[in-house]
Copies of this chain bind each other. A is one copy, B any other.
């Protein structure tokens, strides 16, 4: 199966969670919008009157006859297809629950720099972004990181993964969340680091996987930048 991923060409964004799964599995895929004319093709597909299952927004994935939208939903599908999720019902649901909780944190991270409107520039909502970021750093980051630390501690397999013995797609997504938070809030993440050793260890374990390591060093991995979800604005960061 050759997969086609459709996502904005200039950012990691939500598409990155899908890319990491495809890369870890060594899947055959095209990152369509990064090819010449690809972003126009993505818009054409999204706006096509012929789309039976139109997506509200990128990313979406073409897999044979299927067109699947919503990041967590794409991973629900790929987890099964690529062997990146447990096969039993309880495990599948638990993996998806963790993914949706990661997605909630990603949404909140986005809103630290866009608390008023996605349609406005950051510069037009900078004061509000400072206020939202202060709360995010103080109350939300510890709550989310503490939650994942607890989940890792309770995984009886001792694998260092979020669930069971094997890697699953939420592990890849938690790696990306940590990498993104470190990029966006380096001062705060340094201050918190000692409290979440299992989260940090999972990040390192994922980064060291041969296919992920090769991917991160390749041109296929876009750099973090100030157009994506995880943006580094020093005025939004702080020790507490």
Residues of chain A touching chain B, judged by Cβ–Cβ distance below 8 Å, are: 51-56, 65-66, 68-70, 72-73, 76-77, 89-90, 93-94, 96-97, 100-101, 104, 107, 111, 115-117, 119-120, 125, 128, 131-132, 135, 139, 143-144, 147, 150-151, 154
Knowing A107-B107, A120-B135, A135-B119 are in contact, say whether A73-B56 is a contact too (CB < 8 A): no
A76: chain B residues at CB < 8 Å are: 76, 93, 96
With A52-B154, A54-B147, A54-B150 as contacts: A96 and B115 at CB distance below 8 Å: no
User: Would A117 and B131 count as touching, CB distance under 8 A?
Assistant: yes
A-B contact pairs, 23 of them (CB 8 A): A51-B154, A52-B154, A53-B90, A54-B150, A54-B151, A55-B97, A56-B143, A56-B147, A65-B90, A66-B89, A66-B90, A66-B93, A70-B100, A72-B100, A73-B93, A76-B96, A115-B132, A116-B135, A117-B131, A117-B132, A117-B139, A119-B139, A128-B128
Across the interface, A154 reaches (CB within 8 A) one of B54, B107, B116, B147, namely B54
Task: Say whether A68 contacts B97, CB under 8 Å.
Answer: yes
Task: Tell me if A116 and B100 are in contact (CB < 8 A).
Answer: no
Per the bound structure, the CA–CA distance linking A51 and B151 in Å amounts to 10
Instruction: List B contacts of A154 (CB < 8 A).
Output: 51-52, 54
Q: How far is the CA of A115 from the CA of B117 in the complex (A)?
A: 10
